[in-house]
Structure 1
Amino acid sequence: MPASAFAFGIWELVPSGLFLLLALVLPLLFYHLGGGFLHRLQKHLPKWLCILTESYLKPLVWALRQTLAFAAAGMLPFVQQHPSLADFLATASTLLNIYFIALGAWRSAPMCRLLLRSAQNHLDLETNQTMARFFENLFRALVGLFAGIAMLDTLGVPVSGLLTGAGVAGIAISLAAQSTLSNLIAGVALVLEHPFGIGDYIVLGDLEGTVEDISFRSTKFRTLDNIVVSIENSKVASEYIRNCNQRQSRLWDFTIGVTYGTPRETLETLCCDLTALLQNDPEVIPDKVTVTVDTFNAYSIDLRCRVYITKTSLADFLQAKNRLNLQIMDMVHKDGCDFAFPTTTIEMAGEK
Structure 2
Amino acid sequence: MEQWLHTHAWLGIPLYEWLYAALISSLLYLVFYQGWKIAISRLSKIAQRTSTRLDDIAIEVLQGTQQLTLLLLATLMGLHVLELPEKWAARLDHVLFITIGIQVAIWLNRGVGIWAREHLSSIDGPAPGANPVMTTVLSWILRVFIWSVALLTVLDNVGVNITAFVASLGVGGVAVALAVQNILSDLFASLSIGLDKPFEVGDFVVFGEIAGVIERVGLKTTRIRSISGEQVICGNTELLKNTIHNYKRMEERRVVFTFGINYATPPETIADIPGIVRKAVEASSNTRFDRAHFKAFGASSLDFEIVYFITSTDFNVYMDVQQSINLYLMKAFQAHGVDFAFPTMTINLPELPRDNAQNNTARPSIKAEKWVSQTVNR
**Equivalent-residue separation in structure 2 for 1:187 and 1:105 (angstroms):** 20
**Equivalent-residue separation in structure 2 for 1:297 and 1:137 (angstroms):** 60
Per-residue CA shift, 1:299-337, capped at 9, x if unaligned? Answer: x44332222222112232223223333323322223222
Gaps of 5+ in 1: 1-12, 43-49, 75-85, 114-125
Change (3 A) 1:109 1:51: farther
Pick from 75, 97, 103: which aligns with 2:110? 103
**Equivalent-residue separation in structure 2 for 1:244 and 1:129 (angstroms):** 16
CA contact (8 A) 1:291 1:306 kept: no
Q: Could you tell me how far 1:167 is from its partner in structure 2?
A: 0.8
**One-letter code aligned to 1:174:** A
Question: Which residue of the partner structure matches residue 43 of structure 2?
Answer: 34
What SS class does the counterpart of residue 63 from structure 2 fall into?
A: helix
**Equivalent-residue separation in structure 1 for 2:143 and 2:162 (angstroms):** 15
CA contact (8 A) 2:256 2:308 kept: yes
Question: Which residue of the partner structure matches residue 80 of structure 1?
Answer: none
Change (3 A) 1:56 1:32: same
Kindly indicate which of the two structures has a greater share of residues assigned to helix: 1
Are positions 1:331 and 2:329 aligned together?
no
What SS class does the counterpart of residue 49 from structure 2 fall into?
A: helix
CA contact (8 A) 2:294 2:302 kept: no
Q: Could you tell me how far 1:140 is from its partner in structure 2?
A: 1.0
Are positions 1:248 and 2:257 aligned together?
no
Are positions 1:149 and 2:148 aligned together?
yes
Structure 2 length-normalised TM: 0.62
**One-letter code aligned to 2:225:** R
**Equivalent-residue separation in structure 2 for 1:245 and 1:173 (angstroms):** 39
Q: Could you tell me how far 1:37 is from its partner in structure 2?
A: 0.7
Identity of aligned residues (%): 22
Question: Which residue of the partner structure matches residue 58 of structure 2?
Answer: 56
Change (3 A) 1:220 1:51: farther
CA contact (8 A) 2:276 2:329 kept: no
**Equivalent-residue separation in structure 2 for 1:19 and 1:324 (angstroms):** 85
Change (3 A) 1:158 1:55: farther
Question: Which residue of the partner structure matches residue 165 of structure 1?
Answer: 168
* Higher Cα Rg, which structure: 2
**One-letter code aligned to 1:140:** S
Are positions 1:322 and 2:319 aligned together?
no
CA RMSD of aligned residues (A): 4.9
Per-residue CA shift, 1:253-286, capped at 9, x if unaligned? Answer: 2222334443332232223211233246442223
Q: Could you tell me how far 1:103 is from its partner in structure 2?
A: 1.4
Gaps of 5+ in 2: 1-21, 77-91, 121-126, 353-358, 362-378
**One-letter code aligned to 1:53:** D
Per-residue CA shift, 1:101-126, capped at 9, x if unaligned? Answer: 4112221248999xxxxxxxxxxxx9
Question: Which residue of the partner structure matches residue 261 of structure 2?
Answer: 258
What SS class does the counterpart of residue 229 from structure 1 fall into?
A: strand
**Equivalent-residue separation in structure 1 for 2:337 and 2:28 (angstroms):** 98
Structure 1 length-normalised TM: 0.66
CA contact (8 A) 1:285 1:308 kept: yes
**Equivalent-residue separation in structure 2 for 1:184 and 1:137 (angstroms):** 11
**Equivalent-residue separation in structure 1 for 2:151 and 2:239 (angstroms):** 38
CA contact (8 A) 2:64 2:106 kept: no
Pick from 197, 201, 209: which aligns with 1:198? 201
CA contact (8 A) 2:66 2:103 kept: no
Change (3 A) 1:105 1:189: closer
Query: Which deviates further from its counterpart, 314-323 or 170-179?
Result: 170-179
Q: Could you tell me how far 1:192 is from its partner in structure 2?
A: 4.0
Change (3 A) 1:195 1:341: same
Question: Which residue of the partner structure matches residue 235 of structure 1?
Answer: 238
CA contact (8 A) 1:250 1:312 kept: yes
Question: Which residue of the partner structure matches residue 304 of structure 1?
Answer: 305
Query: Which deviates further from its counterpart, 137-146 or 228-237?
Result: 228-237
What SS class does the counterpart of residue 41 from structure 1 fall into?
A: coil
**Equivalent-residue separation in structure 1 for 2:278 and 2:292 (angstroms):** 7
Q: Could you tell me how far 1:150 is from its partner in structure 2?
A: 6.2
**Equivalent-residue separation in structure 2 for 1:32 and 1:226 (angstroms):** 53
Per-residue CA shift, 1:56-94, capped at 9, x if unaligned? Answer: 3223124165645778999xxxxxxxxxxx9xx998998
Change (3 A) 1:164 1:212: farther
Query: Which deviates further from its counterpart, 133-142 or 188-197?
Result: 188-197
Are positions 1:222 and 2:225 aligned together?
yes
Change (3 A) 1:197 1:39: same
What SS class does the counterpart of residue 332 from structure 1 fall into?
A: helix
What SS class does the counterpart of residue 338 from structure 1 fall into?
A: coil
CA contact (8 A) 1:274 1:291 kept: no
Change (3 A) 1:167 1:135: same
**Equivalent-residue separation in structure 2 for 1:336 and 1:36 (angstroms):** 83
CA contact (8 A) 1:183 1:216 kept: yes
Q: Could you tell me how far 1:169 is from its partner in structure 2?
A: 1.4
**Equivalent-residue separation in structure 2 for 1:176 and 1:64 (angstroms):** 38
CA contact (8 A) 1:274 1:328 kept: yes
CA contact (8 A) 1:283 1:309 kept: yes
Change (3 A) 1:70 1:334: farther
